Amino acid sequence: MSPFPPGFLWGAATSAYQVEGSPFADGAGASIWDRFSHSPGRVANGDAGDVACDHYRRYREDVALMADLGLSAYRFSIAWSRVQPEGRGRPNPAGLDFYRRLVDALREAGIAPAATLYHWDLPAALDDRGGWVDPDVAGRFADYADVCFRALDGVELWATLNEPWVVTDGGYLHGVLAPGHRSPAEAARAAHNLLRAHALGVEAYRASAPPRSDRAGDSGAAGIGVVVNLEPKHPASDRPADRDAAERADAYLNRHFLDPLLLGRYPEELSGIYGEAWSPDFDQEAPGLAAPIDWLGINYYSRSVVRHDPAAWAGAAPVAQEGALHTELGWEVYPDGLEETLRRVAADYPALPLYVTENGAAFADPETAASAGVGPGVGPGAEIDDPLRVAYLRDHLRALARAIDAGADVRGYFVWSLLDNFEWAHGYAKRFGIVHVDYATQQRTPKASARYYAEVIRSDGAALEI
């Protein structure tokens, strides 16, 4: 018997800036990622998303590829600055039209469209007014979301935000992602405004979304949710100081967003972690952040092991796991953590359908060497061997099956990523795709991991040999 419930969605994920290219086509405005990637020294090799995978022009070919693999869902994101070039005001019909065509093409192919409204590419014009630190951004987001809900009624699963933790930690605390600021006060405020934006976005959805349960061709999945990145925080030793450090790290990464989103309160630890950057207003306003959602998306890549270190942020320093397998981004491969995460969320925040909205790995596939002119060539239709990614998928899907078996209500899985793409500050050097992209020719070539995933889907999990 399949370990996966009937109607389980087998998907792949991408995001707008990482794959689309043509950032200014059809009247689109600049985003903070256009700015960031064109600022010297911000992105490896000076890479930017100007062309990326040219998905904006090749989306039909990419939908055909998804259909070949047997995917039942595709998670993509909408670029706010295509819909509202200045981040507010009258929508840009040509920008919206791209997503309408994409949604139509997906539905024609029997693939459920899952759209994320915000995957890190804030309109630059809003950044000029303070970006996520400006309280008005939440209302702007709800207006933009409302435009999308009304225009794109073929979308089955809506997500408000992708990984608000990464937006605040990478964008406003450590400055490694756009807009590249380093300020605890800004980070705390950005986190709070992201949560306010989410709640207002959910409200707008309830007010505007047409009933969609009886529409022909739907996968059965529906509703609005939000996507968070989670990772278990394990103490490096049994010492109380290390255990406390793991608790703080857990509050900072995992509960920072889960608790306000689902329980309407912030973890107590946050005021200690942020110190004077934390405003009591945030706690007072927290009950308003828990707008009821239909599902929760979890992005899972790794765990971290931490030890007490007063000099580190949240008093918790990561401890390298010698001997473990690590991906090209230095992330420990730890499949058990997916089971642990899903079981924990199911227990602590019950009665909420879950989706694994991202899971995958960057490895230095043989094709990386090939496109650099060393190693075997990669011709059209050639198989590209990526055994580490195949094993990563197999082991994480087995962990997912164990979590479902233990009672976690998981309704779908999206591999990150369909295509090799622009990996933010790492540029094009790090490849997460199950499909190889030759950036010189835009030739797509499925890797062995794509074939393996297709076989898992086709066999309804039997290929996992559980």
Task: Give contact residues for ligand FCB (rule: CB under 6 A).
Answer: 15, 18, 162-163, 166, 229, 299, 358, 416, 423-424, 432
Identify the active-site residue in 231, 328, 332, 358.
358
Closest contact distance (angstroms) between CB of 207 and ligand FCB is 28
Closest contact distance (angstroms) between CB of 242 and ligand FCB is 26
Closest contact distance (angstroms) between CB of 285 and ligand FCB is 26
Residue 80, SS3?
helix
Closest contact distance (angstroms) between CB of 417 and ligand FCB is 7
Identify the active-site residue in 20, 163, 339, 423.
163
Closest contact distance (angstroms) between CB of 301 and ligand FCB is 7
Give the end-to-end CA distance of the chain in Å, rounded to a whole number.
10
Place of tokens 């490896």: 44
Closest contact distance (angstroms) between CB of 18 and ligand FCB is 6
Question: Active site includes 163?
Answer: yes
Give Cα 443 distance to the centre of its chain.
25
Distance CA 341, CA 347 (A): 10
Question: Active site includes 203?
Answer: no
Question: Quick one: 92 or 417, whose CB is closer to ligand FCB?
Answer: 417
Question: Quick one: 13 or 111, whose CB is closer to ligand FCB?
Answer: 13
Catalytic residues: 163, 358
